[in-house]
Amino acid sequence: MTTEEDLAWWLTLAPQLDWTFARTYAETAPHSYVVLNRTTGMTREDYVRAAHVICTFGEPAKFFTTTSIYLTSPDGRVKWWTMDRDLSRTDLVNQATTERLYGVQNAPSTYSGTHTSYDAIATVHDEQDPTSEEEARRLRELAAPYIGDFPPAVLDVGCGTGRILDLALTTPDRYAGVDSSHPMLNMLVRKHPHVAAVYPMAIEQAVESRLFTPGQFEIVTAYGSAAELSADALQAVARIASRILVLQRRTGPLELLDPHGSVVASG
């Protein structure tokens, strides 16, 4: 778990470290770094802990065409980021000042302003709750008749870290995710940096504000979050789909509903 205590630890430690200036990038992208076995005061566990803090409390931003998660200091002067895909292998943390930007800053916004029970476990969620091959097979088989020749436009309700994209139900450019957990959305964007859109809010808020229109998406999924939806919210979500609503509750079979909310398949 990664909590405010971990954030406070990093914000206290970072200014005390001996940051090495990256001379190779002095003109193109000036920054400094700390690296394992060459920086006093940082163990392997510290690098991993820092990576989890950055991905939990940071936000996506662009370095030209590359999207990364950056944590900005409370005074807004510096930012930190890591580069390892596997957070458990992190052995380097970068630091740069914030006055310079690189490229168009069109990374998705993940900040919701809402604390959820998923925030603290977002960076370890996928390893603690993996999707089985059997689960993936059932989803693909049930959804296959409704997909067609091209990747469908998918709205993923309670999207978390992007399991529907992990299962390849559609492609990132045809996908939109809704979730009120800022850290979970960070992990989604980290895995799928070319995702078309994420909406950092609860689906009830999106429905109430009429953010989505009836039939806007071919497939809507509530994969793992179906039990958290009220009957009214479920009906509203079903109408956003022009083909099917895919439900996966924490217990029980997968269910496919038509835009009127009637079950058309389960398994």
Domain assignments of the chain as residue spans, ordered by start = 4-97, 119-266
φ/ψ region of 64 (left if φ > 0, alpha if ψ in -120 to 50, else beta) reads left
The number of C-alpha atoms within 13 Å of 246 and in the hemisphere containing its C-beta is 28
Question: Is 209 exposed, middle or buried, given 0-12, 13-18 or 19+ CB atoms closer than 10 A?
Answer: exposed
Contact 169, 143 (CB under 8 A): yes
Strands (E), the chain: 20-21, 32-35, 59-63, 66-72, 78-81, 92-97, 154-157, 175-178, 197-199, 217-223, 241-248, 254-257, 263-266
Pairing of strands 154-157, 92-97: unpaired
User: What is d(CA 83, CA 232) in angstroms, rounded to the nearest whole number?
Assistant: 43
DSSP 69-133: EEEEPTTSSEEEE---SSGGG--EEEEEESS--BS---PPP---S---TTGGGGGGHHHHSPPPH
Sheet with 59-63, edge to edge strand ranges: 20-21, 32-35, 92-97, 78-81, 66-72, 59-63
CATH number of 119-266: 3.40.50.150
Using the Cα atoms of residue 130, residue 132, residue 138 and residue 143 in order, give the sign of their dihedral: positive
Share of the chain above pLDDT 90, in %: 81
Q: What is the pLDDT of residues 9-25, one digit of tens each?
A: 999 999 999 999 999 99
Residue with tokens 């950056």: 70
Q: pTM of the entire structure?
A: 0.95
Q: What is the pLDDT of residues 28-54, one digit of tens each?
A: 999 999 999 999 999 999 999 999 999
Q: What is the pLDDT of residues 61-119, one digit of tens each?
A: 999 999 999 999 999 999 999 999 999 999 999 999 999 999 999 999 999 999 999 99
Would you state the structure tokens that stand for residue 196, as one six-digit string? 């078309």
Residue 258 pLDDT > 70, yes or no? yes
